[in-house]
């Protein structure tokens, strides 16, 4: 009799928790800014009825929060930028592997974690930009060649503290080996026109203002600038396009399901949708990025920059070699 009552109580609890689960929203921690994700989440809610509750904060703060919250985290999904940060999250044990045919079909191999703990959702190209008033594109060739003597006092760089440059350097280590990569970074530092900048946008402004002639930025920052001022005398150059030079450095923004997600099935469905053709165009174009799903075209503004060959080494390498890259940049005097 007692056993019977326990069973019944258990059944009632199960029903209650099922109802609760249905009513509960999927919770997302996002380092991607509010205005870049809200339109997508709204579209998903409208389509499925599933509410999404999201918190935005800086990459590092979100990761520390997930680590601290551990099993008690309300978050089902972590959305962040740069493979270096995604790799860190996997390394710190806050994500879980997701085996999904839909995700495998949507996202190319080199843009996802080899262990399936995270998936790229948009691609950002970190490439060369130049003053169309003072530089001919034929003067440019590769990232490495920005260390040539002809760029003495003409190069601008963003700080090495930014993960984007750590990832760029890490991928260069993969391609060239540590010694050569260090020599390249040193040659860049020798060519600097001025102190390093704290943002890609400041760097672009410096080129426009004539403070320097060439630099390296994520293309979406140029997209934002172009949107405000289509006549800005700066253009994009795609380096390393010759065989054996790797291709343009690309990175991702992406997401993974948290290890202690309370609504893992719902969160995986949301992730699959974000990677699907239906969502990918909007996901990428809101930030002038490239869709990670190759079946989806880029926005008109982005397409106007032309096609390029990307480096297809798995972006996870950027995380694996991050510490090495930071030390290398420090040795090279790159602030
Ligand atoms: Fe950014």
The pLDDT assigned to 266 comes to 97
* Chain segment 107-155, per-residue pLDDT in tens: 999 999 999 999 999 999 999 999 999 999 999 999 999 999 999 999 9
Ligand 1 center from residue 19 Cα (angstroms): 40
> Is the pLDDT at 240 greater than 70, yes or no?
yes
The pTM (predicted TM-score) of the whole model is 0.89
The pLDDT assigned to 24 comes to 85
In this prediction, residues 196-213 reach a mean pLDDT of 98
Residue 25 contacts by C-beta under 8 Å, 6 or more apart in sequence? 50, 51, 52, 53
Q: What is the DSSP string of 72-137?
A: G---SEEEEESHHHHHHHHHTT-EE----HHHHHHS-GGGB-TTSS-EEEEEEEEEEEEETTT--G
Beta strands in the chain (DSSP E): 26-30, 52-56, 77-81, 95-96, 119-131, 155-156, 214-218, 234-237, 249-258, 290-291
Q: Which of 75, 72, 109, 102 is nearest to 89 (CA)?
A: 75
Ligand 1 center from residue 84 Cα (angstroms): 13
Q: Which of 296, 162, 138, 308 is nearest to 221 (CA)?
A: 162
The pLDDT assigned to 312 comes to 95
Ligand 1 center from residue 81 Cα (angstroms): 8
Question: Residue 44, class by beta-carbon neighbours within 10 Å (0-12 exposed, 13-18 middle, 19+ buried)?
Answer: buried
Ligand 1 center from residue 121 Cα (angstroms): 14
Cβ distance 156 to 194 under 8 Å? yes
Ligand 1 center from residue 9 Cα (angstroms): 51
Q: Which of 195, 211, 64, 216 is nearest to 140 (CA)?
A: 216
List, in order of start, the domains of the chain with CATH numbers.
28-123+250-303 (3.40.190.10), 125-249+309-331 (3.40.190.10)
Phi, psi of 253 (to 5 degrees): -105, 150
Pairing type for strands 26-30 and 77-81 reads: parallel
More confident residue, 10 or 27: 27
Cβ distance 243 to 303 under 8 Å? no
Ligand 1 center from residue 145 Cα (angstroms): 24
What value does the CA radius of gyration of the chain take, rounded to a whole number of Å?
22
DSSP structure class, residue 321: T
Q: What is the maximum alpha-carbon separation in the chain?
A: 89
Ligand 1 center from residue 247 Cα (angstroms): 20
* Chain segment 273-329, per-residue pLDDT in tens: 999 999 999 999 999 999 999 999 999 999 999 999 999 999 999 999 999 999 999
Ligand 1 center from residue 251 Cα (angstroms): 11
């Amino acid at each position: 009799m007692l056993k019977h009552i326990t069973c019944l109580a258990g059944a009632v609890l199960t029903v209650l928790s099922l109802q609760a689960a249905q009513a509960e929203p999927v919770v997302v921690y996002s380092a991607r800014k509010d205005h870049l994700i809200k339109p997508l989440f709204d579209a998903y809610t409208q389509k499925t009825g599933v509410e999404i509750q999201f918190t935005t904060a800086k990459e590092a703060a979100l990761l520390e929060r997930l680590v601290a919250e551990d099993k008690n985290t309300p978050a089902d999904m972590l959305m962040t930028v740069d493979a270096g940060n995604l790799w860190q999250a996997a390394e710190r044990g806050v994500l879980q592997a997701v085996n999904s045919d839909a995700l495998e079909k949507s996202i190319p191999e080199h843009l996802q974690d080899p262990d399936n703990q995270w998936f790229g959702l948009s691609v950002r190209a970190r490439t060369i930009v130049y003053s169309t008033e003072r530089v001919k594109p034929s003067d440019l060739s590769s990232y490495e060649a920005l260390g040539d003597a002809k760029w003495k006092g003409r190069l601008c760089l963003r700080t090495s503290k930014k993960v984007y440059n750590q990832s760029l350097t890490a991928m260069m280590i993969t391609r060239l080996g540590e010694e050569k990569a260090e020599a390249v970074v040193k040659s860049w530092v020798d060519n600097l026109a001025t102190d390093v900048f704290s943002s890609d946008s400041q760097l672009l402004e410096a080129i426009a203002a004539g403070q320097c002639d060439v630099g390296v930025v994520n293309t979406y920052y140029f997209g934002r600038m172009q949107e405000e001022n289509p006549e800005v005398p700066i253009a994009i150059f795609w380096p390393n396009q010759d065989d054996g030079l790797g291709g343009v450095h690309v990175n991702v923004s992406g997401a993974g399901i948290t290890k202690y997600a309370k609504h893992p099935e719902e969160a995986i469905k949301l992730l699959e949708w974000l990677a699907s053709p239906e969502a990918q165009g909007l996901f990428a174009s809101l930030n002038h990025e490239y869709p990670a799903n190759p079946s989806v075209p880029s926005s008109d503004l982005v397409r106007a920059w032309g096609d390029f060959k990307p480096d297809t080494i798995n972006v996870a390498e950027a995380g694996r070699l991050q510490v090495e890259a930071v030390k290398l940049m420090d040795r090279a005097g790159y602030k």
